Amino acid sequence: MTHVNGLASADGPIEPGRMTHTEEDLVTGPEAIARVKELVEDIDFTMLTTRDSRGNLVSRPMSTRQMDGKGDIWFFTLADTAKVSESQADPQHDVGLSYLDAKGHRYVSVAGRAQVVRDAAKMKELYSPSLDIWFESGLETPGIVLLRVTPVECEFWEPRHGKLVTAAGMLKALVTKDTPDDTMSHGRVSC
């Protein structure tokens, strides 16, 4: 098992710079961890999924503030929201995060555990005036808290050769009725 910044990959060694569809060539370890961090912070908005009291999966958009060096993903929210009560009611505090960049064909899926954090120093570090849209009184907004999601499993998909080459490969597959090959990179990190 490879450990990097508190995250681990059980998939063994990887060949740098090589990404394919096959399990044998799956991007793992430090390369995958670094790529997940870049994608999560670049895409920014995610759908946070919890389970409600009837067992239904429910999602809502959230703006990512940071994926820190330990791999934790940070969000601001209010303590009295359904997302907080649902995530904390789950025995494992399990949540899902789904990041999507439709134009760039980049996707990230995170299965993790959520924890409410009331840390004034961390809140000050992560807060920016752009959040005033949701928190009228900034850090003085009653009930403002951080939601920290600690990943358990992360996966990502992105174009292997850029958008134009990927689009050309998909167009070719449409015309030839073949499955597009060598178009997407896939990475996985078990934390």
Per residue in 25-64, pLDDT (tens digit) is: 577 778 888 899 999 999 999 999 999 999 999 999 999 9
Quickly state the pLDDT bin for 88 (edges 50, 70, 90): very high
Q: Which residues pair with 100 in a beta bridge?
A: 107
Q: What is the pTM of this model?
A: 0.78
* Sign, CA torsion 100/105/106/107: positive
Residue 49 is predicted with a pLDDT of 98
Query: What are the DSSP E strand ranges found in the chain?
Result: 2-4, 7-9, 45-51, 57-63, 66-67, 73-78, 94-101, 106-117, 144-159, 184-190
Question: How far is CA 167 from its chain centroid?
Answer: 24
Q: Once rounded to an integer, what is the mean pLDDT over residues 68-79?
A: 95
**Residue 167 pLDDT:** 61
CB 131 within 8 A of CB 145: no
* Residue bearing tokens 């939601």: 147
Give CA separation, 184 vs 84, 161, 189, in Å. Answer: 35, 8, 17
Q: Per-residue pLDDT averaged across 166-181, rounded?
A: 66
For every residue of 87-106, DSSP letters joined together read HHHSTT-EEEEEEEETTTTE
Give, in order, the Cα–Cα distances in Å from 87 to each of 98, 116, 124, 147: 16, 9, 24, 10
